[in-house]
Amino acid sequence: MAEFKVVRAGDEEVEVSSGPLTRVAGISESLVGATGIHMAIGSVPPNSKSSPHTHINCETALYVLRGHGRFLIGEGLKESIEVGPGDYIFVPPGALHQPINDHPTEVWEMIVCRNSPVEIVEEYVV
């Protein structure tokens, strides 16, 4: 039987630290034994972006806590969608996207949830 667990502030794990981007997990397979859910805080520093990529094996839900950013999406990353505090974003499996923070001083921070304890990412070469 699964055990009720609380992960206290400061006990999270740095899940991703890729260049300027970070994702710190609070609910993960390694922290709590989760098998069907994952929850983290993702941060995109000012004037930063991730590489274009897809998540092959999971749906991802994002909620913007603070800051503003945009996602380049679709074939060739030709469409741009701006997001800000209070916005919810759904990323289906296989959806090409690239988060970008164009702001010179503001950090873009999001709650990141997915329906898989381990994310399989495929990088996209532009």
Q: What is the pLDDT of residues 20-60, one digit of tens each?
A: 888 999 999 999 999 999 999 999 999 999 889 999 999 99
Position 23: which residue type? R
Strands across the sheet with 38-44, in order?
Answer: 13-18, 21-27, 38-44, 108-114, 60-66, 88-91
Using DSSP, state whether 8 is helix, strand or coil: coil
In the chain, % of residues over pLDDT 70:
96
Q: Which CATH architecture has domain 13-116?
A: Sandwich (2.60)
Name the CA dihedral angle for 16, 22, 26, 30, rounded to a multiple of 10 degrees: 10
Query: Model-level pTM greater than 0.85?
Result: yes
Task: Report d(CA 41, CA 62) in Å as an integer.
Answer: 9
Q: What is the pLDDT of residues 54-106, one digit of tens each?
A: 999 999 999 999 999 999 999 899 999 999 999 999 999 999 999 999 999 99
